[in-house]
Chain A
């Protein structure tokens, strides 16, 4: 009996142990098995295609700038609602180490979870291990792919969060054109074409793109995203620093997850208005458009441009009148398209143009599905129709901006010959009379000085207003940027890089041989290289543009009278060299010409302590 019982117990023990082992194996395999969807181990994510998940609300927060505090505030708003079975709220965010030093330096991303703390971000955002460049399209593309892969849903919303500047393309850095989402640490600013390209390259068709940024509700912006999303939400005017009210928007979505993308787009505009109306301090605009009408709008605008271009002589006064009367925004060259067309219709007597205007107005009314405006002062902005367009006065647009404008999709996609809105703008502003052209021109040139000894040489640029720019004076000047002084860098080279937009006038280049180097080796051969894309010189030449031997054997006087100036022009002195000048002319033309040897400048003494500057008598 005893043996029988002990045997049964032994069997039961073996069964129990086997059960435990099997359970353990199941749990280990379940954790480490690769997920066919490429999930990254986030236990909170959903899997499968949609399932019960209706929405994935993706927010790309480029907060590495002075909006960093606003980024914290908005994420806290999101956390008041969080995610649930029907909605995933996911973010990728970067904060500014300078403005918000308590926040992580690295880029973070992850799913937003609900909490009851309105001041601290508690969602388990993954540290991506580095401070990524949020201002390049590859980072945005990667975010979209990650979000839609790990959080699949029936509908996708992409929020682009940051500063905005409409179509504006900002400074060229390293040859690339920048514009809209800013990353201070990385020194980048994603352009409109790059934004659209980022979305396109993700391969994801979005249901709604929402710009939580300023000045983006423009025909140019909408067309750039043509075919990439069904609806777009944006603002013609600047947005308040707080941006979108994420708590009320997401709560609406939680309460009604079965709303359609168009209903969501409309809801965002209404919640935006209600939030700021309650403050009664700030004027706002927020509109939503049906992107399926974009091509139709573009075609009609091009056709109108053709008529305006063909009849510019007779139509110019009417166009100018309508432009100068219509609503505009912080960027005064941004005009409400509908308002401009309304005034233009009243002013022109051309029946065909009137007909074309009517066609566009009809399309606009169908395209703009929501247009919310609030103004505590009930000012002119209340007449906005939901979509702005670039329509500058001559003195509002540097020539370089007209060039950049031509790169946008609206001006590349031809419908009626070469007639685009950009061609019309060019014709309008370049023919405008009575308006002073802007006193700026395209810069972007770089002057590099190199020499072959350890002597102390200095590169000096005399700018149009007479300001001296040199590395030993400072890193910036009114028109450019300087490298380190060679005495600090230890390198026998100094550079001057002109800003993208500079004052018109002459930029005289000087080289000063200040003192011999420790080696005592003389003479020094100095070399000047010039890069000037505006003149077709897109890289530094292999051979120097100018070169000359320099030393201290025949030093120029401190005071430069006409005689001394003339001698310097003729390279009489061994320690001062004037190799060339660059001219940015009144007509926007640029020239690189050293055949005219007259030095044209007025020297204004610098207030800073200097090594040596010439004083002109």
Chain B
């Protein structure tokens, strides 16, 4: 009897431990999934401030961002990658873009086109002096 209680107790302890371990694993996996989902959500609704704030995370990654042409708040400080770089901004910040000219319908160097909505797809990069920019792969005007 004593042995059976001991056995049952051990079994119960083992069962409880297994369940707890499973919960921990599950919880850990859940957190990973949630984090991945959060990362995905962030990249889908990505802001420029997020890119600049977590530059190490985004460096070398291809992103798509909806923003506006120009830099009305003059947030693109530092020397750009090239002297033909232009700027995009959103409600959070502004960033240089490089590698392609602005899309047709937008006149480069003209402030009159600032605030035209555009979609930029490109790779997040950084100059030797640490100035972040997006190297464009695709760019188009948003309707």
Q: Do A and B bind each other?
A: yes
Enumerate chain A interface residues (CB-CB to B < 8 A).
65-67, 69-70, 73, 96, 98-99, 162-165, 170-171, 182, 184, 187, 189, 213-215, 238-243, 279, 281-282, 330-331, 398, 438-440, 465, 474, 476, 478, 481, 499-503
Query: Are the C-beta atoms of B83 and A240 separated by less than 8 Å?
Result: yes
Query: Are the C-beta atoms of A99 and B77 separated by less than 8 Å?
Result: yes
Chain A residue nearest to B96 in the complex (CB)? A66
Known: A213-B83, A241-B83, A499-B112. A66 touches B76 (CB 8 A): yes
Query: Are the C-beta atoms of A170 and B83 separated by less than 8 Å?
Result: no
Contact of B116 among A98, A465, A476 (CB under 8 A): A476
Known: A279-B128, A503-B105. A214 touches B79 (CB 8 A): no
Q: Distance in Å from the Cβ of B137 to the closest Cβ of chain A?
A: 14
Quick one: which of B76-129 are within 8 Å of A by CB? 76-85, 87, 99-101, 104-105, 107-116, 127-128
Measured CA separation A238–B82 after assembly (Å): 6
Q: List 14 A-B contacts (CB under 8 A).
A: A66-B71, A67-B80, A69-B79, A96-B74, A98-B74, A170-B108, A170-B110, A213-B83, A240-B81, A241-B81, A241-B127, A465-B143, A476-B114, A476-B115
Query: Are the C-beta atoms of A241 and B80 separated by less than 8 Å?
Result: yes
B residues near A182, Cβ cutoff 8 Å: 109
Chain B residue nearest to A162 in the complex (CB)? B83
A residues near B116, Cβ cutoff 8 Å: 476, 478
Q: Distance in Å from the Cβ of B115 to the closest Cβ of chain A?
A: 5
Given A66-B76, A213-B83, 7 more pairs with CB closer than 8 A: A165-B108, A171-B107, A182-B109, A239-B83, A239-B84, A439-B104, A476-B114
Query: Are the C-beta atoms of A67 and B83 separated by less than 8 Å?
Result: yes
Query: Are the C-beta atoms of B77 and A501 separated by less than 8 Å?
Result: no
How big is the B interface, by class?
A: 20 to 34
Q: Distance in Å from the Cβ of B131 to the closest Cβ of chain A?
A: 8
| Highest count of chain A CB atoms <10 Å: which of B76, B111, B112, B116 | B112
Measured CA separation A108–B44 after assembly (Å): 46
Measured CA separation A242–B85 after assembly (Å): 12
A residues near B109, Cβ cutoff 8 Å: 65, 163, 165, 170, 182, 189
Measured CA separation A502–B113 after assembly (Å): 11
A residues near B78, Cβ cutoff 8 Å: 69
Q: Distance in Å from the Cβ of A378 to the closest Cβ of chain B?
A: 18
Contact of B85 among A189, A241, A331, A499 (CB under 8 A): A241
Known: A99-B77, A398-B104. A330 touches B111 (CB 8 A): no
Measured CA separation A279–B129 after assembly (Å): 12
Chain A residue nearest to B71 in the complex (CB)? A66
Contact of A238 among B79, B83, B110 (CB under 8 A): B83
Q: Distance in Å from the Cβ of A557 to the closest Cβ of chain B?
A: 28
Measured CA separation A164–B108 after assembly (Å): 11
Query: Are the C-beta atoms of A481 and B82 separated by less than 8 Å?
Result: no
Known: A187-B111, A476-B115. A281 touches B128 (CB 8 A): yes
Known: A66-B76, A214-B83, A243-B83. A440 touches B112 (CB 8 A): no
Chain A residue nearest to B114 in the complex (CB)? A476
Known: A99-B74, A499-B112. A170 touches B107 (CB 8 A): yes
Query: Are the C-beta atoms of A330 and B84 separated by less than 8 Å?
Result: yes
Measured CA separation A164–B76 after assembly (Å): 19
Contact of B84 among A214, A279, A281 (CB under 8 A): A214
| Highest count of chain A CB atoms <10 Å: which of B84, B87, B99, B111 | B84
Measured CA separation A330–B81 after assembly (Å): 13
B residues near A67, Cβ cutoff 8 Å: 79-80, 83
Measured CA separation A137–B100 after assembly (Å): 29
Measured CA separation A552–B1 after assembly (Å): 99
Contact of B107 among A69, A501, A503 (CB under 8 A): A501
Q: Distance in Å from the Cβ of A597 to the closest Cβ of chain B?
A: 27
A residues near B110, Cβ cutoff 8 Å: 170-171, 189
Chain B residue nearest to A179 in the complex (CB)? B109
CB-based closest 3 A-B pairs: A98-B74, A241-B79, A238-B82
Measured CA separation A439–B140 after assembly (Å): 13
